[in-house]
Amino acid sequence: MLVLKVGGNEIDDANFLKGFARAVAAMKDTPIIVHGGGKEIADLQLKFGLTPQFVEGLRVTDDASLAIAEMVLSGRVNKRIVCALINAGADAMGMSGIDRGVVRVEKMLHPAGDLGRVGKVVSVRGQVLCDFVSQKIVPVISPISLGDEGAYNVNADSVACAIAAALNADAVVFVTNVAGVMKENQVIPSLTPREVETLIKIQVIRGGMIPKVRAALDAVSNGAKAARITNLEGLMNGSGTVVTRDA
């Protein structure tokens, strides 16, 4: 079982999306895809007079921002990916974490501040996704997920890792616009939790890469066999930064 997470910035690039869809269609095993959509959310927030705010790379989500996130993630971005996959020859089904209660969450409490309607994953209905994969249908999942009070915005990296952990996936791969975690213009081939915290402290790892590497660590510590951060080229050739547990 393979889980792929693709970011919103990459999906904005039509050439990237076509290449990604072709790569997925050519895979022997059917993957599960989780996607973000950060830039488009921020653009629409600004159009509605809202100021995007982040805490350690996580989007602060009030009720108005949640409505925008749902429109972008579960609507426009999700269907754009599904269209590209089907046109590339893959069979694909778009959904959010809310559909069939696939991803359930509780409100995330963060020491650095109140994130609003941001959720923390508490359970995954893995069998729903396995059923799709067994029929060679690629599930394309928006990270808007289900809490007791309705919809919550969830970091897509965290959703991907929770799904990978729940399914004991062979790997979760974060497909980004960089070749891996970089230091002095070189890809770091592997990282342990201790190394991650050191690099965050000295700001080699910063911004949106922080939740990505921590989510990858969560995935391998909770059941995923491997986690990798890479770009489209690395997805196809197996390169990038592999995140592991401490020895």
User: What is the CA 115 to chain-centroid distance, rounded?
Assistant: 18
Asked if residue 105 lies in contact with residue 154, where contact means CB atoms within 8 angstroms, the answer is yes
For 39-65, what is each residue's pLDDT tens digit? 889 899 999 999 888 887 778 899 999
- Which residues are paired to 96 by β-bridges? 142
The domains of the chain, with CATH numbers, are: 2-243 (3.40.1160.10)
How confident is the prediction for the chain on average, in pLDDT?
91
d(CA 101, CA 124): 8
Average pLDDT over residues 200-205: 92
pLDDT at 155: 87
One DSSP character per residue, the chain reads -EEEEE-HHHHT-HHHHHHHHHHHHT-SSPPEEEE--HHHHHHHHHHTTPPP-EETTEEPB-HHHHHHHHIIIIIIIHHHHHHHHHHTT--EEEEETTGGG-EEEEEPP-TT---BSBEEEEEE-HHHHHHHHHTT-EEEEES-EEETTEEEB--HHHHHHHHHHHTT-SEEEEE-SSSSSEETTEE--EE-HHHHHHHHHTTSS-TTHHHHHHHHHHHHHHT-S-EEEE-HHHHHHT-SEEE----
Asked if the model's pLDDT at residue 137 lies above 80, the reply is yes
CA terminus-to-terminus distance, the chain: 24
pLDDT at 242: 93
> Between helices 193-201 and 209-222, what is the axis angle to 10°?
170
- Which residues are paired to 120 by β-bridges? 106
pLDDT at 245: 77
Of 31, 177, 4, the C-alpha closest to 90 is 31
d(CA 173, CA 26): 16
Give residue for tokens 């790997």: 171
Six-digit token pair at 156? 């897509």
- Overall pTM surpassing 0.85 (yes/no): yes
Six-digit token pair at 5? 């997470």
pLDDT at 246: 67
pLDDT at 117: 94
Distances in Å between the Cα of 5 and the Cα atoms of 157, 158, 159, 161 are: 7, 10, 9, 9
How, if at all, do strands 92-96 and 103-107 pair? unpaired
Residue of higher predicted confidence among 222 and 128: 128
The residue type at 193: P
